[in-house]
Structure 1
Amino acid sequence: MVQTRRVRAGRLVALGLAGAVVLSACAESQRGNDQGGAAPKSGGTMTFATEGAPKLFDPFFASDGATFRTSQQVFEGLIEFKPGTAEAEAGLAEKWSSTPDGKTWTFNLRKGVKFHDGSEFNAEAACFNFNRWYNQKGAGQSPAVSSYWNDNFGGFADGAKPSLFKSCTATDPATAVVEVTSSTSKFPDILGLPSFAIQSPTALKQYNADNVVQQGDSFVFPEYAQSHPTGTGPFKFAKYDKANGTVELVRNEDYWGTKTFLDKLILRAIPDETARKQALQSGDVQGYDLPSPADWEQLKKDGHKLLIRPAFNVMYVGIGQKNNPKLRDLKVRQAIAHAIDREGLIKQQYPEGAKVAENFYPDTMFGWTSDVQKYEYSPDKAKALLAEAGATGLEVNFYWPTEVTRPYMPSPRDIFGFIRGNLEAIGMKLNVISKPWNGGYLEDIDQAKADVFLLGWNGDYNTPDNFIGSFFSDPDNRFSTVSATWGTQLSGELKAADAEPDAAKRKAMYEALNKKLKAEYLPGVPIAHSPPALVTSAKVSGLVASPLTDERFNTVSLG
């Protein structure tokens, strides 16, 4: 999740309309061209600096953005997302349709597509992948290993817990029929996620791809995940230098679509944002991800190209209720909401184009409504609410993350500092706890150790379930009370909305949920939607900024 679109959520599949639904899309991805009409040039090597090194190269076992950055170049899914949007379009499936109940989906596949090892892509290969995911055993079932399957499909073939997936059947070489156990707004869009990209059955078997071994709290991944990722994409995996976090990809000369312009793409890990900027300025790299908003204007003045992604994300202040009884009082949570100067925070700490969040997901998505409880900035009202609740001088554990930059949280330290000042101004006493993002912070948040914390989400696909479903569907979530009474109620309401096949009814259910989230539950305070960016040198053309951070480099050329 460690992961924005800008399209109205009116897509038929996303809304799960009753009746047969058929989608199709153009055979090739749109190619950006900002060269003033000049034809893109072929050849050359581009080096792009990422914020971290990939953990492995099997996207099914991945949850980190650096792995997905590589996966998005090497692999393809049955469904892809149209460049620059969250709109589903044809991938390895040219079109798809569903039965009226939304439980049976027929995918008509591309012909003449080969994996990088020369084996053929067909319906049997597609179903092999579905069955591989579903039949994971042992460590492969751990949420720490197959997190995206756990989050989106649920259980496995052993039946220990329910699964969205039921079966995949190859009715002929170019047709795969997938059955799911219930209607859901997220299917088939979730098939566009990197974790569900189609991989070569031949390579998966040859390199024992499912042989994941748990050692204490860690996992050891097989040879396939370390050095043999094999997909159908426009780039092929060449090598990985683990010592300096550098991945080398080369053009797939047998690609079914238009070949890449670049000969090679180098993805180089440079965790420090300032170091990434210096590498661009020196010419060591030709682009990097997540430039600091404070640097945007200077980067443009220096002649670089700033590509701003649409703000398909949300940052929120979470309020955990498990450990501190005072926080279970709605008035106390309302006081925190009134105490935070969201407009001032955005003006001071966020880039141009960021805006105050009123719901827990962006306004481009169905079910969003402006008719929610508003919490204007009012320290006096916040103090009064604390007094009414008998919580004047409330003491809480306030967590904030270090060693991270997120699209929705460009500078955690500064954002924390601003909010800290707001809360202390109403008399709250804060026990400040900071931990590295991947070094204890997320673990503590997931284990509900924090009273107040900073967190957010960059969307994976264009449904409310990807946002509020991810946050609140688990009744024993990081926000719930000890008894989890409202957590259980909210979880049920979210699952019912997601499973509703009628578009109008589903929209109304999400609108009602958004109202209750702000007025009755208030598990946190939505703060901001922020447009993250990436930057390239002037000679780079054709890179399309994605709201999903799903940039594909097959369209890139060097001038």
Structure 2
Amino acid sequence: MKLSRKTATPVVLASVVALGLAGCAKSDRETGSTGTSGSTGSSATSGGGGGAASDTFTFGAAGAPEVFDPFYASDGETFRVTRQMMQGLLGIKDGTADPEPELAESWEPSADGLSWTFKLRQGVKFTDGETFNAEAVCYNFERMFTQNEVAAAGPAEYWAYTMGGFKGGKDDSLYKSCEVKDDATVVLNLTRVTSDFPVLLTLDSFSMQSPKALKDGDANNVAKEGEGFKYPAYAMAPVGTGPYKLDKYDQANKTITLVRNDDYWGDKAKTAKLIFKIIPDESTRRQELEAGSINAYDLPNPVDWKALEDGGNQVLVRPAFNILYMGFNPDKNPKLKDLRVRKAIYMALNREQMVQSQLPEGATVATQFMPDTVAGYNKDLQPVKYDPEGAKALLKEAGAEGMTLQFAYPSEVSRPYMPDPQKIHEALAANLADIGIKVEAVTKPWNGGYLDGVDNGQFDAWLLGWTGDYNSANNFIGTFFSSDTNDFHTYANDWGKTLTSELRKADGVVDEAERTTTYEALNKKIMEEYLPGLPISHSPPALVVGKGVSGVTASPLTAEMFDQVVVTKS
């Protein structure tokens, strides 16, 4: 599973969605200053000149959801919509990747970390009028756990990715059971301790949905249909507890209309309608923003940021919650088994220059395989210095002078951590040529052989990235290195098995402070003793809002909510 190759709009593996449009996701969540191309954690604050407020906010979406049931989704374009209608036990604090109470007001683990007690918010109703309570929570988790073989092997992938197996399946499951203590108290029991819990409950896929609607809509009846899946009617008419509810999906006009939930338990949405207008082409989205037919869109091209701002729009730069890296396959190119060779390649890369010339303002050189907002980040690690002469000396010492390196990059794609793969590749390949490495450049389309090529070990080295799914060290380095099969091919090395074991032990540490210290030590070890790949940079993606729009807070996880947005007519 490589879910977080998706960007959070993206984090992580673009999914082909309805109408043949490509939706990109995850993953790959500080409120700060007014949006400018140099800020992070920005909020839209413009007032639009004091005109009358509009009752509609229109967002230019890059793709169409295939379904509206978030449990069966894995792409950011679906989650962008369902997030406005659905809520989970845990939410995400605006402008951060930190969990906060949502439908659960508090939670507490048992001493052994295997049971979690959640105190639930009272007075909450689903949009069909049904009451949210502990029974509803257990119904939802049992619904997720009891998938048929088709769904378990296909669209229920976030459960498989985080929880493992399903009821009656051959794979072990993190989820064990759910207990109702009273209407406002529920206990989730686990089979093992993991640092991913309970933060993984911030994922949109684990949103709470109306048990009655799920049951009446035969929601788990997923069937195979050609190369894809056939979903029950419920999947296009979900029922949640959020500030909006689904009005209609007009596939002919490529628009999704949500309307305000007037019975919402929290602050009511400030606009009566929230419309997602599906516009696959980024330049067309910009034109529609400038024409006033949409109010915002995601991932504006970094080269357009200044012009967009000069035109009176706001570019809201998200805190970077991603990593661009160079992966290695020592099994294919045996010279890469020598740590001196991997270090020499790292020393040869002028990453500071690459960041300044190829990435948007706010991008930084990476020191390890996670951003600095994640607990376990080692602040003592410094960027490996650009040292071509030192790199040449290491190659000579390793007997690898004049070595050939097949170095791949993807085409037909842009990612927040990698806006222009070809130019980034060219810059890094030139650095390698400067120390005498003969670079054999290879490129394939992202979904046309590149990802499969990485998985199948076809390249010596390659560029890839990751946008975090949630705020957990295990979601970064645990996902990268703790499986027997991973993109870095660490299983081909004896130390790879040791690293896998060390990461699994770290994930199972119950005490949070001890676990953080353990991950800090592991980050140091990965960078100084193992170096299975090369972390390159962190790059902040952005979204743009038009004139007269306020109330949008940029999220590192691209998990923006739109219920407090105000649109003022000029």
Scaled by the length of structure 2, the TM-score of the pair is 0.88
What SS does structure 2 have at the residue aligned with 1:160? coil
Q: 2-side partners of 1:33 and 1:395: how far apart?
A: 49
How do residues 62-141 of structure 1 correspond to structure 2 at under 5 angstroms? 62-141=73-152
Matching residue of 1:389? 398
- Go from structure 1 to structure 2 and tell me whether the alpha carbon gap of 1:445 and 1:483 turns closer, same or farther (over 3 Å shift): closer
Of 466, 478, 497, the residue aligned with 1:457 is 466
What's 1:18 paired with? Answer: none
Q: Is the 8 A contact 2:366 2:536 kept in 1?
A: yes
In structure 2, what is the equivalent of residue 170 of structure 1? Answer: 180
The range that moved more, 409-418 or 352-361, is: 409-418
The amino acid that maps onto 2:441 is V
Alpha-carbon RMSD across the aligned residues, in angstroms, is: 2.5
Provide the C-alpha distance between the structure 1 equivalents of 2:325 and 2:169, rounded to a whole number of angstroms. Answer: 35
Change in CA separation of 1:251 and 1:469 when aligned onto 2, cut-off 3 Å: same
Identity of aligned residues (%): 50
Aligned amino acid, residue 136 of structure 2: A
Aligned match of 2:498: 489
* Matches of 2:533 and 2:94, distance apart in 1: 32
Judge conservation of contact 1:43–1:261 (CA < 8 Å) in 2.
Answer: no
| Corresponding residue number in structure 2 for 1:184 | 194
What's the counterpart of residue 507 of structure 2?
Answer: 498
Q: Against the structure 1 CA distance between its residues 216 and 468, is the aligned structure 2 distance closer, same or farther, given a 3 Å change threshold?
A: farther
1:136-147 equivalences in 2 (<5 Å)? 136-142=147-153, 144-147=154-157
What are the residue-to-residue correspondences of 1:140-159 with 2, within 5 Å?
A: 140-142=151-153, 144-159=154-169
- Cα shift at 1:345: 0.6
Of the three residues 224, 229, 232, the one matched with 2:234 is 224
Q: Secondary structure at the match of 2:552?
A: coil
Q: Which moved more, 1:424-433 or 1:63-72?
A: 424-433
Which among 361, 373, 382 is matched to residue 364 of structure 1?
373
Q: What is the distance in 2 between the residues matched to 1:321 and 1:499?
A: 29
Counterparts of 2:43 and 2:221 in 1: how far apart (Å)?
40
Matched with 1:210 is 220
Partner of 2:16 in structure 1?
A: none
User: What CA deviation, in whole Å up to 9, does each residue of 1:516-539 have, x standing for no partner?
Assistant: 211222121111112211111121
CA distance in 1, matches of 2:270, 2:53: 4
In the alignment, structure 1 residue 300 sits paired with structure 2 residue 309: yes
Instruction: Give the deviation of 1:364 after TM superposition.
Output: 2.5
Alignment correspondent of 2:21: none
Q: Is the 8 A contact 1:80 1:91 kept in 2?
A: yes
Contact 1:393–1:427, Cα closer than 8 Å, also in 2: yes
1:424 maps to 2:433: yes
Q: Deviations over 1:309-332 (max 9, x none)?
A: 111221111122342222222222
In structure 1, distance between residues paired with 2:234 and 2:369 = 38
Question: How far did residue 272 of structure 1 move?
Answer: 2.8
- What amino acid maps onto 2:157 in structure 1? S
Q: Aligned partners of 1:536, 1:33: CA distance in 2, in Å?
A: 7
Does the 8 Å CA contact 1:40/1:557 hold for their aligned counterparts? Answer: no
Match for 1:153: what amino acid? Answer: M
Change (3 A) 1:323 1:205: farther
Offset of residue 346 of structure 1: 0.6
Provide the rounded CA distance (Å) in 2 between the counterparts of 1:481 and 1:465.
16
Shift in Å at residue 127 of structure 1? 0.8
Closer, same or farther: CA 137–350 of 1 in aligned 2, 3 Å: same
Q: Residue type of the partner of 1:205?
A: K
Q: Is 1:527–2:536 an aligned residue pair?
A: yes
Q: CA deviation at 1:43?
A: 4.7
Find the aligned partners of 1:519 and 1:64 in 2 and give their Cα distance: 35
Q: After superposition, what is the alpha-carbon deviation per residue over 1:352-381, rounded to whole angstroms, capped at 9, x for unaligned?
A: 221111011112222222444753212233
Structure 2: tracts of 5 or more residues without a match? 12-27, 32-41
Alignment of 1:321-470 (within 5 A): 321-372=330-381, 374-470=383-479
Report which stretch shifted further, 323-332 or 506-515: 323-332
Partner Cα distance (2:501, 2:52) in 1: 54
Aligned twin of 2:318: 309
Q: Using the alignment, how far apart are the partners of 1:247 and 1:299 within structure 2?
A: 26
Q: Tell me the residue number matched to 1:267.
A: 276
Structure-1 separation of matches of 2:329 and 2:227? 25
Deviates more, 1:133-142 or 1:492-501: 133-142
SS of equivalent to 1:457: strand
Q: Is the 8 A contact 1:328 1:481 kept in 2?
A: no
Distance 1:407 1:397 in 2: 24
Give the equivalent residue in structure 2 for 1:48. 59
Determine helix, strand or coil for the equivalent of 1:423: helix
CA distance in 1, matches of 2:438, 2:229: 40
Q: Distance in 2 between matches of 1:244 and 1:528?
A: 40
SS in 1 for 2:352: helix
Distance 1:516 1:485, change over 3 A: same
1:28-78 residue CA offsets vs partner (Å, 9 max, x unmatched): xxx978367999976522221223332322211221111111121111001
Q: Residues 360 and 468 of structure 1 are in contact (CA less than 8 Å); yes or no, is this contact kept in structure 2? A: yes
Q: Which residue among 187, 200, 211 is the counterpart of 2:210?
A: 200
| C-alpha distance 229-320 of structure 1, shift in aligned 2 (>3 A) | farther
Worse overlay, 52-61 or 435-444: 435-444
CA distance in 1 between partners of 2:298 and 2:548 (Å): 17
Question: 1:114 offset after TM fit, Å?
Answer: 1.9
Q: How many angstroms apart in 1 are the aligned matches of 2:83 and 2:203?
A: 9
Q: Determine if the alignment matches structure 1 residue 285 to structure 2 residue 294.
A: yes
Q: How does 1:19-58 map to 2 (within 5 A)?
A: 34=45, 43-58=54-69
For 2:249 and 2:348, the matched residues in 1 are separated by 48
With 172-181 and 390-399 compared, the bigger mean Cα shift is at 390-399
Maintained 8 Å contact 1:165/1:179: yes
Q: 1:399·1:450 contact (CA, 8 Å) conserved in 2? A: yes
Q: Does the C-alpha gap of structure 1 residues 38 and 476 become closer, same or farther in structure 2, counting only changes over 3 Å?
A: same
CA contact (8 A) 1:170 1:177 kept: yes
SS in 1 for 2:563: helix
Counterpart code for 1:516:
K
Give the conservation status (yes or no) of the 8 Å contact 2:367–2:381.
yes
Q: CA deviation at 1:159?
A: 5.0
Aligned length: 534
Say whether the 8 Å CA contact 1:322–1:481 is kept in structure 2. Answer: no
Report deviation, 1:187.
1.1
Give secondary structure in 1 for the equivalent of 2:371.
Answer: coil
CA contact (8 A) 1:350 1:410 kept: yes
